[in-house]
Amino acid sequence: MSLSTVSGRPRRVSRIFTVYSLRPLSGADGGGYTAVSPGVRAYENGVKILMRAALIYGTLLGNTENVAESIVEELKPEFEVELVDVCQVTAPDLNQWDLLICGIPTWDIGQLEYGWSDVYDDLDSVDLDLVVAMFGLGDQNAYRDTYQDAMGILYRKLVERGARGNIGFTPTDTHEFEASDALVEGRFCGLAIDEEQQPDLTESRVTEWVAQIKQELAELQVGSS
């Protein structure tokens, strides 16, 4: 997968990342892309490549929306990320962005939140060309066997449909649960937040995670899969 198709899509200038420190490609990789600063993909054939980013969240009671707003604030100033309620998008809409941060709570014992569920049902007809990072909300005490399942279910589907993942994975050691579909090789496939049992940890978790994904995105070798 490549982000190069960015240049072929309609531009939404107000929704691109903040741009700074642009410099042309040089060095041993000899072509393609390099990450100059978060969200900036330097030049391809002399054309400046920019990433457009959205944080798309689903929520029933507002917890995920609150965390989403914190993440968007924390991402500034390097990233200007559009905040989008999942109920406003359909699966084919997703490719208008180059980076998606997807926020999803688990509901109904291991199920997707309903807005995301509608998008999920249509994803099989969409080939994605974007980078994805996930965060999830759950309750590790009341739902020990399905903790954060929705984050994992959605993540796997997005990657299956072509999204590039492996961004923002986090350790499980500050969570206590029996089972989770959100685990990939022993780590959560994104940021796991528990507003019911560990609300005091949310702020620091968000801060640390945003710093992590800024770093990981900056290091992304865009153009490799």
The residues of the shown chain that bind ligand FMN, judged by CB under 6 A, are 59-64, 105-110, 137-139, 143, 146-149, 195-196
- Cβ-based nearer residue to ligand FMN, 109 or 211: 109
CB of residue 24 to ligand FMN, shortest distance in Å: 43
CB of residue 41 to ligand FMN, shortest distance in Å: 32
Please name which of 53, 55, 54, 49 lies closest in space to residue 5, comparing C-alpha atoms. 49
- Cβ-based nearer residue to ligand FMN, 141 or 224: 141
Q: Are 204 and 149 in contact (CB under 8 A)?
A: no
- Cβ-based nearer residue to ligand FMN, 42 or 137: 137
Cα-based angle 225, 64, 120 (whole degrees, multiple of 5) = 50
How far apart (Å, rounded) are the C-alpha atoms in residues 107 and 115?
Answer: 11
How far apart (Å, rounded) are the C-alpha atoms in residues 146 and 180?
Answer: 5
CB of residue 187 to ligand FMN, shortest distance in Å: 16
Q: Which residue is nearest to ligand FMN (CB)?
A: 138
The two tokens of residue 208 are: 């640390």
Cα-based angle 202, 214, 120 (whole degrees, multiple of 5) = 70
The two tokens of residue 53 are: 């980013």
Cα-based angle 130, 96, 134 (whole degrees, multiple of 5) = 45
- Cβ-based nearer residue to ligand FMN, 24 or 199: 199
- Cβ-based nearer residue to ligand FMN, 54 or 153: 153
Dihedral sign, CA of 38, 42, 44, 49? positive
